[in-house]
Amino acid sequence: MAEQDWWRGSVTYQVYPRSFMDANGDGVGDLAGITEKLGHIADLGVDAVWLSPIFTSPMKDMGYDVSDYTGIDPVFGTLQDFDRLIAEAHRRGLKIIVDQVISHCSDRHPAFEESRVSRDNAKADWFVWADPHHDGTAPNNWQAIFGGIAWTWEPRRQQYFFHNFQRYQPDFNFHNPEVQAFHLDNMRFWLERGVDGFRLDTVNYYFHDRLLRDDPADFRPRPPGAIRPYDMQYHIFSKNQPENLEFLRKIRALMDEFDARVTVGEVGESHHPIEMMGAYTTGGRLNMAYSFEMLGPAFTPAHFRGQIERFFKGAPEGWPCWAFSNHDVVRHASRWETHGTDAESVAKQAAAMLLSFEGSVCLYQGEELGQLDTVLAYEELTDPQGLAYWPEETGRDGCRTPMVWAKDAPHGGFTSGTPWLPVKDPQRAHAADSEIGGRVLGFYREMLRLRRETPELRSGRTRFLDLPDPLLGFLRGDGVLCVFNLSPDPVRAETGLAVTPLLAQAASIDGTAVDLGGSGLLIGRVG
């Protein structure tokens, strides 16, 4: 693979810095702690590390509310700590990708503090401001993701400002060229400092409809469990605007000034997401789009096959990045445990499945240990989403609890202080040095080695086999067969192919058939 295209078929390991490793004992993970544990990541055999936000922030939304785009928040360390992390990662052959949260910022950002004072200052048009209706109500019906209307009144301007998320996260006005230039300059700062790419948060939220037209009602039946007014609308005006595509070309042009850099965009959309991922990764825009489509409860052959086929049919020149877990969803070992024989077997099967998919892959810290979601009491929560919607939604803290390095160490070896979220016994059972955690970790290392050493698993095209439920089967390239039993019950897969096993779990070969036990899998060389 050419160095410029290192990201094709790559595997990225997501680090949630607050919860990875605390080096100074204040209970919050930091850059020095990540540097200390880079050996763990490198030994897995991944290509890159994605750092969730580390920039200066009031931390009301754990760094997704940035107040300085070129500063490191003191809770994580200093710019010098970041430089040391970059140098050590590169020494170990790891790329570093940093989160860029540019659709919105913190209300403590100097630009917003200036903008909100009056209608005639230098930053007056940097954010989305609108007059009220004659009766004082908000300019339109746009809803905020975390609850309530997406507009907050500013008495000094006698106007509302727009925020897709919390009221302390005002949206930038990307129709203003100065805003675009500001963010491109901030990206250049980090590129010149040596980062290898950006994960672009909420990449389809940058532009809003200039006319501020109402979002229509969702044309689909309300999905089960949807409790937010936001979920009742079809967001064709508050985000997903065509101007987004041209700005992505500007980002790509900046990236192309540097060697071997990459962009991966988080496409947060419930309507036509696969099609949007395709559009965003063709025509000189993003290198990859990060998919939400495998982060939910669906665990069927038809679901996984459908996402992959739809993407490559709709965007044969595009490129996806698949994931099963991240910092925003229940960990997949918990989500899918009932679909297999036990959580450990499901964790191993999920690793083999994800790492055999066509595209690039992102792993979330702790999934290589088969880690489960943490059950938290209300008083233990920090996440604004959980605090707003408890108990119908418990929020995202359950997947953000600290990494457990040592089963018997205080706080699992994460910190010498009091951790910002608790380390509980079910998570200790999956520590890196525990029996379960060690077995799953060993399996991940083996599967990652297989993907790295098998060209078909990184770059081979996919041809799905027509197998009955609960079997998922496909060929990568011409020579590698992958078959998975997505159930706890034994089943036979009649593949019609003779294979030599490369990696297996609860599987045996009988001629051209494969007998798979519950959560069984087989990856083999054809012929």
pLDDT value, residue 57: 98
pLDDT value, residue 41: 98
Cα 208 from chain centroid? 23
Q: In this structure, what token pair is assigned to residue 363?
A: 């792993």
Domain that holds residue 521: 462-526
Which among 135, 192, 257, 510 is annotated as catalytic? 257
State mean pLDDT over 303-325. 95
In a domain, residue 517? The reply is yes
Task: Say if residue 74's pLDDT is above 50.
Answer: yes
- pLDDT above 70 as % of the chain: 99
In a domain, residue 424? The reply is no
Task: Say if residue 226's pLDDT is above 90.
Answer: no
Task: Say if residue 152's pLDDT is above 70.
Answer: yes
Q: What is the CATH number of the domain that holds 481?
A: 2.60.40.1180
How many C-beta neighbours within 10 Å does residue 160 have?
A: 23
Which among 171, 201, 269, 397 is annotated as catalytic? 201
pLDDT value, residue 221: 87
pLDDT in tens, 98-133: 999 999 999 999 999 999 999 999 999 999 999 999
What value does the mean pLDDT of the chain take? 96
Banded model confidence at residue 410, pLDDT cuts 50, 70, 90: very high
| N-to-C CA span, the chain | 26
Residue 327 amino acid letter: H
Task: Say if residue 12's pLDDT is above 90.
Answer: yes
pLDDT in tens, 270-294: 888 999 999 999 999 999 999 899 9
- Quickly list DSSP for 218-284: PSSPPPTT--SGGGGB--SSSS--THHHHHHHHHHHHHTTSTT-EEEEE---SSSHHHHHHHHTSSS
Nearest to 471 by CA among 486, 455, 460: 486
Domain count, the chain: 1
Secondary structure (3-state) at 287: coil
State mean pLDDT over 248-269. 96
The dihedral built from the CA positions of residue 4, 8, 10 and 15, taken in this order, carries a sign that is: positive
> Which phi-psi region, left, alpha or beta, contains residue 370 (left: φ > 0; alpha: ψ -120 to 50)?
left
pLDDT in tens, 482-502: 999 999 999 999 999 999 999
- pLDDT above 90 as % of the chain: 94
Task: Say if residue 393's pLDDT is above 90.
Answer: no
- pTM above the 0.95 mark? yes
In a domain, residue 500? The reply is yes
- Quickly list DSSP for 362-421: EEETTGGGTPPPPP--GGG---HHHHHHTTT---SGGGTSPP---TTSGGGGS-SS--SS
Task: Say if residue 319's pLDDT is above 90.
Answer: yes
Q: In this structure, what token pair is assigned to residue 17?
A: 């810095």
Q: Which residues contact 286 (CB under 8 A, 6 or more apart)?
A: 200, 203, 248, 251, 252, 263, 264, 265, 280
In a domain, residue 262? The reply is no
Least confident of 59-68, 82-91, 218-227: 218-227
Task: Say if residue 247's pLDDT is above 50.
Answer: yes
pLDDT value, residue 2: 59
In a domain, residue 470? The reply is yes
Using only C-alpha atoms, the chain has a radius of gyration, in whole angstroms, of: 23
In a domain, residue 507? The reply is yes
In a domain, residue 68? The reply is no
d(CA 442, CA 420): 29
Task: Say if residue 508's pLDDT is above 60.
Answer: yes
pLDDT value, residue 1: 46
Q: Is 201 a catalytic residue?
A: yes
pLDDT value, residue 392: 86
State mean pLDDT over 345-353. 98
In a domain, residue 516? The reply is yes
Q: In this structure, what token pair is assigned to residue 420?
A: 């910002």
State mean pLDDT over 146-159. 96
State mean pLDDT over 364-374. 98
pLDDT in tens, 170-223: 999 999 999 999 999 999 999 999 999 999 999 999 999 999 999 999 988 887
Give me the half-sphere count of Cα atoms (radius 13 Å) on the Cβ side of residue 72. Answer: 19
Task: Say if residue 474's pLDDT is above 80.
Answer: yes
pLDDT value, residue 270: 84
